[in-house]
């Protein structure tokens, strides 16, 4: 169950997106002096307007729910600073022993949820074992400075151990079933220490895992069904941990990068003015896709948005997938930074 503040934030994001579409329709020079064309699309305009109004009403309802919920009374944190530090020290992954014990719990987690979430445990567990072996063999210091800890990130492409600064935050909602329950959360960019890469498979070899041809796998890449593929020369390689979702419709894609991208196609020359992109299908439009660009870091930074047809969307997404500097956010399988294996983000979304 998502917390009320998160529901309100998502509702506000939907309102912003729809208002961008409304402004585009209302101000599009394409309709200037062409009342017959505007008449044909005015139903779409008023449908969007109705949806915005409904979202505003939903936001008001959620805000009232939050105001009347004692879990959101704005009370002070439930722990003193000394208790926060003790909580951090008892939950944070701070030593080699903590890391290795966490790996065992992570293996149990993925094995337990394999059927429900389609985790490829036959390949994931051996990679976690190799990761643990490399941790055992490397020089890994025991952390003593407060608020720094290790984090284990599992992606379709790799498993990474990083050093991260952490804070104690508090649940104001009912996600944990306990008001103001504390939890750890990394607050800045992670510093990678060790990475165990997943094996890369050809489209033909990857297709054997799913009983399909290499041509079908290449089609999955073009359609955005696989977003962890890498391009080597003219051929694609797919990580062995890649999960192929069982969906018939397009799932929104989110990509980010931290430095200027090379060889950007002329039609997408605006990419380097931003650092993050979101691609989504336009409801009710079979061959129309919405693109949103943002800084990816600053909430008040300038943004941009536009629509593409299916072919242009495919060219854009294939360019992003082929760039080593671009990271697909969709490929994360889990972040683990609490040695008790509290999974804040996952439980919040249940």
Q: Tokens for 226?
A: 């696989």
**pLDDT for the residue numbered 56:** 60
**Rounded Cα distance, 186 and 31, in Å:** 49
The whole domain housing 160 covers: 81-199+333-348
Question: Using a CB cutoff of 8 Å and minimum separation of 24, what contacts does 272-277 make?
Answer: 273/304, 274/303, 274/304, 277/320
**pLDDT for the residue numbered 228:** 92
Q: Is residue 217 part of a domain?
A: no
Ramachandran area for residue 263 (φ above 0: left; ψ -120 to 50: alpha; else beta) = left
CA angle 22, 27, 33 (to 5 degrees): 130
Residue 150's H or E segment, with its range, is strand 148-155
Averaged pLDDT, groups of 10, the chain, 350 residues long = 53 62 60 52 57 63 59 56 90 94 94 89 96 92 88 94 87 54 79 92 95 93 89 91 79 87 92 90 83 71 83 92 88 88 46
**pLDDT for the residue numbered 349:** 40
Q: Looking at the structure, tell me whether residues 316 and 341 fall in a common domain.
A: no
Q: Looking at the structure, tell me whether residues 321 and 338 fall in a common domain.
A: no
Is the whole model's pTM more than 0.75, yes or no? no
Torsion sign, CA atoms 126, 127, 132, 135 = positive
Among 42, 68, 94, the domain-final residue is 68
Q: Looking at the structure, tell me whether residues 318 and 272 fall in a common domain.
A: yes
C-alpha dist (Å) from residue 14 to 8, 76, 90: 10, 31, 39
- The DSSP secondary-structure symbol of 143 reads P
Among 21, 39, 68, the domain-final residue is 68
- Residue 292: partners with Cβ closer than 8 Å, 6 or more residues away: 17, 277, 278, 280, 303, 304, 305
**pLDDT for the residue numbered 94:** 93
**pLDDT for the residue numbered 174:** 46
Q: Is residue 209 part of a domain?
A: no
**pLDDT for the residue numbered 124:** 96
Residue 165's H or E segment, with its range, is strand 158-170
**Rounded Cα distance, 13 and 3, in Å:** 16
**pLDDT for the residue numbered 80:** 82
Q: Looking at the structure, tell me whether residues 33 and 85 fall in a common domain.
A: no
- Residue 230: partners with Cβ closer than 8 Å, 6 or more residues away: 157, 200, 236, 237, 321, 322, 324
Q: Tokens for 10?
A: 């998502």
CA angle 177, 169, 336 (to 5 degrees): 85
Q: Looking at the structure, tell me whether residues 85 and 183 fall in a common domain.
A: yes
302 exposure class (CB count in 10 Å sphere: 0-12, 13-18, 19+) = exposed
Q: Looking at the structure, tell me whether residues 30 and 122 fall in a common domain.
A: no
Q: Is residue 231 part of a domain?
A: no
Q: Looking at the structure, tell me whether residues 119 and 49 fall in a common domain.
A: no
Strands of 200-201's sheet, edge to edge? 200-201, 235-239, 230-232
- Residue 129: partners with Cβ closer than 8 Å, 6 or more residues away: none
**pLDDT for the residue numbered 170:** 76
Q: Looking at the structure, tell me whether residues 316 and 340 fall in a common domain.
A: no
Q: Looking at the structure, tell me whether residues 91 and 179 fall in a common domain.
A: yes
Phi first, then psi: give them for residue 231, nearest 5 degrees: -110, 130
Q: Is residue 62 part of a domain?
A: yes
Q: Which of these, 222, 242, 241, lies nearest to 313 by C-alpha position?
A: 222
Q: Is residue 184 part of a domain?
A: yes
Q: Looking at the structure, tell me whether residues 85 and 195 fall in a common domain.
A: yes
Among 41, 68, 95, the domain-final residue is 68
**pLDDT for the residue numbered 346:** 43
Q: Looking at the structure, tell me whether residues 177 and 87 fall in a common domain.
A: yes
Q: Looking at the structure, tell me whether residues 25 and 91 fall in a common domain.
A: no
Q: Is residue 304 part of a domain?
A: yes
Q: 3-state DSSP call for residue 288? A: strand
Q: Is residue 15 part of a domain?
A: yes
Domain count, the chain: 3
- Tabulate helix, strand, coil % of the chain (nearest 5): 45, 20, 35
Q: Is residue 136 part of a domain?
A: yes
CA angle 260, 265, 266 (to 5 degrees): 105
**pLDDT for the residue numbered 68:** 58
């Amino acid at each position: 169950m998502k917390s009320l503040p998160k529901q309100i934030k998502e509702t506000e994001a939907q309102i912003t997106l729809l208002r961008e579409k409304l402004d585009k329709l209302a101000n599009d020079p394409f309709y200037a002096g062409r009342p017959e064309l505007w008449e044909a699309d005015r139903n779409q305009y008023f449908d969007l307007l109705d949806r915005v109004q409904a979202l505003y009403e939903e936001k008001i309802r959620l805000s009232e729910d939050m105001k009347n919920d004692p879990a959101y009374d704005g009370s002070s944190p439930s722990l003193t600073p000394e208790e926060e530090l003790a909580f951090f020290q008892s939950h944070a992954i701070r030593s080699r022993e903590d890391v290795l014990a966490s790996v065992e719990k992570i293996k149990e987690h993925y094995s337990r949820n394999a059927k429900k979430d389609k985790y490829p445990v036959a390949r994931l567990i051996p990679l976690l074992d190799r990761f643990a072996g490399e941790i055992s063999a490397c020089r890994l210091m025991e952390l003593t400075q407060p608020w720094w800890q290790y984090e284990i990130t599992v992606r379709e492409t790799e498993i990474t151990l990083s050093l991260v600064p952490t804070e104690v935050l508090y649940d104001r909602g009912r996600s944990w079933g306990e008001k103001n329950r504390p939890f750890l959360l990394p607050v800045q960019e992670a510093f990678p220490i060790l990475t165990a890469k997943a094996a890369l498979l050809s489209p033909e070899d990857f297709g054997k895992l799913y009983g399909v041809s290499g041509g079908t796998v290449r089609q999955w890449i073009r359609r955005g069904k696989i977003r962890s593929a890498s391009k080597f020369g003219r051929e694609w390689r797919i990580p062995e941990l890649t999960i192929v979702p069982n969906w018939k419709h397009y799932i929104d894609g989110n990509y980010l990068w931290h430095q200027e991208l090379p060889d950007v196609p002329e039609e997408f020359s605006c990419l380097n003015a931003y650092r993050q992109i979101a691609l989504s299908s336009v409801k009710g439009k079979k061959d129309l896709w919405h693109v949103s660009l943002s800084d990816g870091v600053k909430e008040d930074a300038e943004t941009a948005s536009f629509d593409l047809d299916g072919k242009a969307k495919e060219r854009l997404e294939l360019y992003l997938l082929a760039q080593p500097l671009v990271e697909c956010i969709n490929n994360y399988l889990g972040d683990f930074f609490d040695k008790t294996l509290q999974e804040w983000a996952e439980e919040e979304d249940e």
